[in-house]
Structure 1
Amino acid sequence: MLDPIVAFFQRIFAAIGRGIGLVIAWVLWPFLTVANWYRARGWIIKGPIGIGLVLLVGFYAYFIWQTQMWSGFSPDYVNSYNLAQRKQDAGSASSGQATTPAAGEVAEPEPKTCVRSAIVDVTADLIDYNVNQNAWISSMLLYKLGLFGLDWDRTPWFDNKASFQRGINQAVRRTAVELVDSLGRVRGTSGINADLQRARGNIQFDEETWYFGSDSLLPKTPTPTYYRTAMADLRKFNAALEACEAIFDGRSDNLIEFLDRIANDIGSTSAIIRERSEFHNGGWFDTRADDRYWFAYGQLYGYYGILSAAGADFDAVIKLRGIEPIWTESIKQLRSALNIQPAIISNGREDGWIMPTHLATMGFYVLRVRSNLVEMRDVLAR
């Protein structure tokens, strides 16, 4: 009685096996054809091709390694600056200990020093993290080539680190603009600082330039070189500030403007996340959800350090205007957002029960941080 049923299922499984075999044969056919052709050639042809294949495999191994290894990544990187130990605002005269000359010696005047800007230090270090501690992924040749011409951002692979770096870079760019326009000068009575001006120009350079491009046959300066120059200019400014040869204007209205610009920047990212979350509910199969998520994560990662540094640079203003509790809570919320590090980003429906909605979760943290920034700005503006 069971023999016909068993035979039926045997035929089904045999057909499935033959189908799988045909698919595998179809996929492997081009490679086997090339391999057979390669074996039949002489060493004059085999040698250069073999060397080229070894180099290609090496390039891809380096590319995969760089996209998967996040050197120096730490959500608690702010702790290394010991910002809570700072007692003076950026640009103010440093209160060093006076030295008493020995008997018979003439006291020499101590060189005048001022307090460095923590904002500038953190911004320069974020650039260093992006282009020195890690390879800048967006301008790597294999990243630009994509997967058979398809942009890596449109695939589930190898784009998370690039998006994260671009998010950090967005925070750095916004800060560089504010340093030039307001924080690094006395508005209306001083010129623009040349070091900050160069840093702003270099950090605004496009994120994808390699040594050569399709628009010109001439060699180009790659993106990381411009960003390293911006980092050097920022550190040059801070050295001048420490020598009291530059200006950091820590006024309340400058802090208001700085918070307003950051709130607008984060708000723009929130709108991008909302659009993707509402209209592209592909769950784990949404190949663009991961780059949206990691861009926002990188932006918050950058602003976590920059706003923590701003709390030190504007310490007197924050305490005078009574926003210290709100400021502390905002920094805590920024740090809480960095705890969310899913291995695979899912853009499920907000009312779904199978696939999580990581984009909506990140959007919640982004909006909460922005709300606190707006509240602090309003208090300062009263």
Structure 2
Amino acid sequence: MLDPIVAFFQRVFSAIGRGIGLVIAWILFPFIAVGNWYRGRSWIIKGPIGIGLLVLIALYAYFIWQTQAWTNFDPDYVNRYNLAERKNDAGLPVKAAAGQTAPANTCERSAIVDVTADLVDFNVNQNAWISSMLLYKAGLFGMDWDHTPWLDNKASFQRGVNQAVRRTTVELVDSLGRVRGTSGINNNLQRARSNLQFDETAWYFGLDPFGPKTPTPSFYRSAMRDLQAFNESLVKCESIFDARSDNLIEFLDRIANDIGSTSAMIRERSENHNGGWFDTRADDRYWFAYGQLYGYYGVMVAAGADFDAVITQRGLAPIWQESIKQLRAALRIQPLIISNGREDGWIMPTHLATLGFYVLRVRSNLVEMRDILAR
């Protein structure tokens, strides 16, 4: 009685097996054909081709390693700055502890600038900048890696960190690093901003325009040095850091708008492309937003030290600390595989919507702090 049923399933599984076999044969056919052609050639032809293949294999091994090794990735990286022990706002003369003599002509360095420079260092020195690597630009058989589930998470994370860095340098140039209306733009900060706006995907050679180019990491390293130079001049009281409440209002407003744009991006992907584990672009959106929060976590902690007097005088300390806690809480979400499932689904997780919730909470706190300062 069960024989027909068993026979049916046998035919089904046999057909599935034949189908998988055909797909594998179709994928392997070009490689087998090339291998047969290669075996039939002389060593004069085999030698250069073999060396070229070995070089290509080595390049891919290096590329895959760089995309998977996240050197010095640490969600608690802000702890090494010991900012809670600082007693001065950025740019103000350093105060001596009781019984000590204050150093002459010494001002407090900017924690925001330190964190921003270190984030650039983390992106392009401690790690390889993935987005401008040749094999990343080449893609998978011509398909952009961002459209695949593989080898693109670190690149998206780095671009998210870079987004926070870019936004911060713009505000340093426009308001924080000058007395508005009475002083010129600081040259070090101006160069840093310009260099960080450079194309994220430039390699040593390009087609548009055609010819050799300076790769992206070189520009970002120059920006890092310019930021460090600004802080060194600030320590000597030769530069300006204007830690006024209106500058903090503008800074918070710009960060809130930047995070708001990311929130809209996450919402669009979550609502319109919720394919669960099969949404190959969900991981790009997720790790970009994660990288942005990773960057702003350090920048906000640093801003708390640079604007300590304003935050204390305006009673912002409790909500400021709550905002920092929420930023850190978002960084705890590190799923191995990103799933963009339905919010009311019960099989596939909704990692994208979960991170979007934290992004909105952070933005809400930023807006609230801005409104308190504006009263």
Shift of 1:15: 5.0
The CA distance in 1 between the partners of 2:111 and 2:45, in whole Å, is: 59
- Indicate conservation of the 8 Å contact 2:175/2:247, yes or no: yes
Shift of 1:17: 4.2
Mapping for residues 1-382 of structure 1, pairs under 5 Å: 14=14, 16-96=16-96, 111-382=104-375
- Indicate conservation of the 8 Å contact 2:230/2:239, yes or no: yes
Question: What's the CA shift string for 1:84-105, capped at 9, x where partnerless?
Answer: 00011001101246879xxxxx
Shift of 1:110: 5.2
Cα gap change, 1:183 to 1:14, in 2 (>3 Å): closer
| Higher Rg of the two aligned structures | 1
Task: State the TM-score, normalized to the length of structure 1.
Answer: 0.94
Shift of 1:255: 0.5
Cα gap change, 1:218 to 1:377, in 2 (>3 Å): same
Question: What's the CA shift string for 1:196-234, capped at 9, x where partnerless?
Answer: 000000001110111111223321000010000000000
- The equivalent residue for 1:103 is none
The CA distance in 2 between the partners of 1:262 and 1:93, in whole Å, is: 28
Cα gap change, 1:363 to 1:199, in 2 (>3 Å): same
- 2:365 counterpart letter in structure 1: N
Shift of 1:272: 0.6
Cα gap change, 1:289 to 1:46, in 2 (>3 Å): same
The CA distance in 1 between the partners of 2:268 and 2:5, in whole Å, is: 52
3-state DSSP of counterpart to 2:211: coil
Cα RMSD for the two superposed structures: 1.8
- 1:53 counterpart letter in structure 2: L
Shift of 1:9: 6.0
The CA distance in 1 between the partners of 2:319 and 2:3, in whole Å, is: 76
- The equivalent residue for 1:106 is none
Question: What's the CA shift string for 1:157-201, capped at 9, x where partnerless?
Answer: 111111100000000000000000100000111111000000000
Shift of 1:3: 7.1
The CA distance in 1 between the partners of 2:166 and 2:183, in whole Å, is: 22
The CA distance in 2 between the partners of 1:135 and 1:263, in whole Å, is: 29
Cα gap change, 1:45 to 1:310, in 2 (>3 Å): same
- Indicate conservation of the 8 Å contact 2:87/2:95, yes or no: no
Shift of 1:281: 1.1
Question: What's the CA shift string for 1:239-285, capped at 9, x where partnerless?
Answer: 00001100000011100110011001101111111111111111111
Cα gap change, 1:11 to 1:247, in 2 (>3 Å): closer
The CA distance in 2 between the partners of 1:75 and 1:274, in whole Å, is: 24
The CA distance in 1 between the partners of 2:167 and 2:196, in whole Å, is: 10
Unaligned runs of 5+ in 1: 101-108
Shift of 1:111: 3.7
- 1:115 counterpart letter in structure 2: E
- 1:159 counterpart letter in structure 2: D
The CA distance in 1 between the partners of 2:374 and 2:163, in whole Å, is: 26
Question: What's the CA shift string for 1:326-358, capped at 9, x where partnerless?
Answer: 001100000000000011111111111111111
- 2:30 counterpart letter in structure 1: P
3-state DSSP of counterpart to 1:213: strand
The CA distance in 2 between the partners of 1:343 and 1:254, in whole Å, is: 39
Cα gap change, 1:312 to 1:14, in 2 (>3 Å): closer
- Indicate conservation of the 8 Å contact 2:96/2:103, yes or no: no
The CA distance in 2 between the partners of 1:333 and 1:227, in whole Å, is: 29
- Indicate conservation of the 8 Å contact 2:68/2:151, yes or no: yes
The CA distance in 1 between the partners of 2:177 and 2:295, in whole Å, is: 20
- 2:350 counterpart letter in structure 1: T
Identity percentage of aligned residues: 79
